[in-house]
Amino acid sequence: MNTATPASRTVPALYTCVIGHVRTTPRRYTLRHRTYLWLIDPDRPPVLPRPLRPLARFDARDHFGGTLPTIRAGLDAFLAARGVEPAGVRVTMLAHARVFGHVFNPLTLFWCRAPGGEPLCVVAEVHNTYGERHCYLLRPDDTHRASVDKDFHVSPFFPVDGAYTMRLPEPGERLALTVRLDQPGSGPFTATVRGERRPATVRTLVRAALRHPWSTAAVSLGIRLHGVRLLLRGLPVQPRPRHRPQEGVK
């Protein structure tokens, strides 16, 4: 297993991204969305000059149970509840920041490395548009792939069944993530994130914010608008199951 220190250990950083979704059944539908993401060390989140703080804030309320004082404390509680000793674990986190008080993270990723530097696990935190959260503890192989059963309602057009196959290499100069939903007899949905690393400077952040104003609200609104389009195309809506919070996750 590769234990070399990746470029992503130099954080914080910004990634200018293109997010793509491809649905193949029951009707083919594709979308592409440009945005930017932060890669940070949750133990040392970036502190911006006061005038720029509305453009990026990382709040513990937005992750895991939302009741602990820091994001890292929430991650540690999640890991400990699943038998992973969090002491000394080094973490990088990929997510949207709060922008003007709003955030929506369809997927937040935490790459966890043991104190010696070897990869330990990845935590994939999924949010849906109903305000619910669910986390998957993943153990990627040497090709950065992991599979896990789907057990959280995300889209009203897919039932809660099947499994995800994810390829989640820790970001370096480039970001290349793939999440594929597999269901019996088909792979009806694939999401990709492709991005390039940028230094987390004031100039870079301001430029990204001007190109993608209120980016997190745009993500949330875009998901809803595309949902309306799919509904108008006649996609059947699946029943929404009752959400059962995980330990440490609301």
pTM, two decimals, is: 0.91
What string of pLDDT tens digits covers the 250 residues of the chain?
A: 444 445 455 889 999 999 999 988 777 888 899 999 999 999 999 989 999 999 999 999 999 989 999 999 999 999 999 999 999 999 999 999 999 999 999 999 999 999 999 999 999 999 998 889 999 999 999 999 999 999 998 988 788 889 999 999 999 999 999 999 998 877 789 999 999 999 999 999 999 999 998 777 777 777 777 778 777 777 778 888 888 888 878 6
Element (H, E) at 203: helix 202-211
**How many angstroms separate the Cα of 135 from the Cα of each of 76, 78, 119, 126?**
13, 9, 18, 6
Side by side, which strands form the sheet with 90-95? Answer: 133-138, 119-127, 107-113, 90-95, 29-40, 13-23, 186-199, 174-183, 163-167, 145-149
